[in-house]
Amino acid sequence: MAKKRDQIDPTELRQQLLDLAAVVLELEERGELLEATPELIKIMGDLRSRLFEYEVRHTGRLFGQEEELPEILEAQRIVDEAARRLEDEEEQEWWRRWSMDPDEGSDS
């Protein structure tokens, strides 16, 4: 049997959302909100994945059959696939950013 991913801790997830809100407000106060777009997109993408996973797992608990419902299993498969794809894309982007080949990543 495949190892289950750790469940999302609601307290930790809530705190991460509050931290994001505080960062956004602080950036706005300093007039740097739009300049921080790349970092915010990454943070929001990570949180979006965690929120989605939490929602899927929470929905399963509401029915009392978290792993038995086909809809829950399919949703979990989608979450896992999206998380793997995101990790792969982030790793590729990291390597592209630090590549020594000046032609790599150019559109020409």
Mean pLDDT, rounded, of the chain = 76
- Whether 5 and 54 have beta carbons less than 8 Å apart is answered as no
pTM, rounded to two decimals = 0.51
pLDDT digits (tens, 9 = 90+) for 49-100: 888 888 877 765 545 554 566 777 787 788 888 888 888 887 777 666 666 5
79 contacts 49 by C-beta, under 8 angstroms: yes
CB-based burial label for 57 (10 Å; 0-12, 13-18, 19+)? buried
Range in 8-12, 17-21, 55-59 the model is least confident about: 55-59
CA dihedral sign of residues 52, 55, 60, 63? negative
pLDDT band at 19 (very low <50, low <70, confident <90, very high): very high
d(CA 3, CA 52): 20
